[in-house]
Chain A
Amino acid sequence: MERTTIDLWVGIFVALGVAALLGLAMKVGNLTTSDIGETYTVTANFENIGGLKSRAPVKSAGVVVGRVGGIKFDPASFEAVVSLNIDRRYQFPHDTFANIYTAGLLGEQYIALEPGGDETNLKNGDKIAQTQDAVVLEKMISQFLYNKASETKEAAPAPTKSKAAESTETGDDALGSNPLDKLTAPAK
């Protein structure tokens, strides 16, 4: 075969390969969304970060404004120190609230920033004071079950002594201020 034809075909082949790689990077991968330009870094301490990972999105009002830069454990306070890289275009007040939320029921976790009303803005290296931990599903379920259990206990006729004492006390109280009496009294 002609040398020029082979050259042409190999040229097309390599160009196709480069185009496919670019396509993968831009259309399939998150290369375009990951560069959020100039950033400043603030830290936030959480008692429990759940399943938060570095590079997780930082959102405010649902819009991605930054990414989680790194997660460290502080051995002095036994807290997780999360550093947030936030886009320089977005400034947040000093009393901004940082929450860890979950996207969807079992989705990935992200940090939501809820801006406060302070005049001064967060600067590079600042620390967000008000944080809310991640909701741990097991904790929530056990709390729910505990609440359910205590509800049924209250509904049941006094199973223990202390409960019985409590119920008699509250019973007296309830008798003294029976809402039905109050309702019927003014009518007389």
Chain B
Amino acid sequence: MTRVSLLVRLVLVLRKIGHRFVDRLWRLGAGARLFWLTLVSSGESFKRPWLVIREVYFTGVLSLIIILVSAFFVGMVLGLQGYNTLQRYGSSEAIGVLVALALVRELGPVVTALLFAGRAGTAITAEIGLMKATEQLSAMEMMAVSPVARVIAPRFWAGVISMPILAVLFSMVGILGGYMVAVPLIGVDAGAFWSQMQANVDWRDDIVNGVIKSVVFGVACTIIALFEGYDAPPTAEGVSRATTRTVVTSSLAVLGLDFVLTSFMITV
């Protein structure tokens, strides 16, 4: 009796795992299909750039404030913490290198992508989910207007354009924040701060690699947000769940992709 119930429970657990796995796999495939469809039908976004510009305003310009403020604070904290450790080894002038490399290589792209997922990704998901719930997308299809070309693709390209710009701004403002803490507040020499930074930050290996990372994150975050919205059940609950999933999936995707990209970029 107990053995049978144990077996049944085991089967149930296995079935649940299998169902989840298949579901994830299905979503991955559907997301990839949407990505492909977006790329194929993005001709209209280039023919009518106004569609993209409008979305750049909503995803990029409106995210500026949160990105810049957090960048400044991240830079200041890096400056303080870095100084605290570096001065133990008598190399507090290297604070500029530490702040710049940390921001340009990692924190700039990654933190921007995480904030972008929270600020712009959720907005995209909720907007498209609601469009679907209120049957605007179906109405478009009825009028022989492809919703992928008219709604999805402009938002995709806007995200891909906005993310590197935001990441570069994040790095720059973060370095200014680090400068504000290190030079006027702590009293590190300004010349040493900039010259050590310039001597050790490489254009190709550090800055360009950071921009490449942010472009990849832009593609990932935007397509995840778009897919979750497009795939959301057309109910209030469905949209709210899709919004949550956007943040969770984007964040995990960004962190995972970051490791993969870094391991490719850092050749030991």
Contact = CB atoms under 8 A, between A and B. Distances in A.
Interface of A: 1, 3, 6-7, 9-10, 12-14, 16-17, 20-21, 23-25, 27-34
B56 A10 contact: yes
For the complex of A and B, the 9 pairs showing the least CB-CB separation, nearest first, are A17-B165, A20-B172, A29-B203, A31-B203, A20-B168, A6-B57, A9-B61, A20-B169, A13-B61
Given A10-B61, A28-B175, A34 B165 contact: no
B129 interface: no
B254 interface: no
Interface stretch (B193-201, B229-237, B245-253): B193-201
Interface string B41-80: 0000000001001101100110010000000000000000
B100 interface: yes
14 contacts: A1-B57, A6-B57, A10-B56, A14-B165, A17-B165, A17-B168, A20-B169, A24-B171, A24-B172, A27-B194, A28-B104, A28-B197, A30-B198, A30-B203
Contacts, number: 75
Nearest to B166: A17
Given A7-B53, A10-B53, A25 B64 contact: no
Contacts of B200: 30
Contact of A16 (B53, B164, B169, B171): B169
A6 B172 contact: no
Residue from the set A10, A23, A27 with the largest chain B CB neighbour count within 10 Å: A10
B54 A6 contact: yes
Contacts of B164: 17
B157 to A, nearest CB: 13
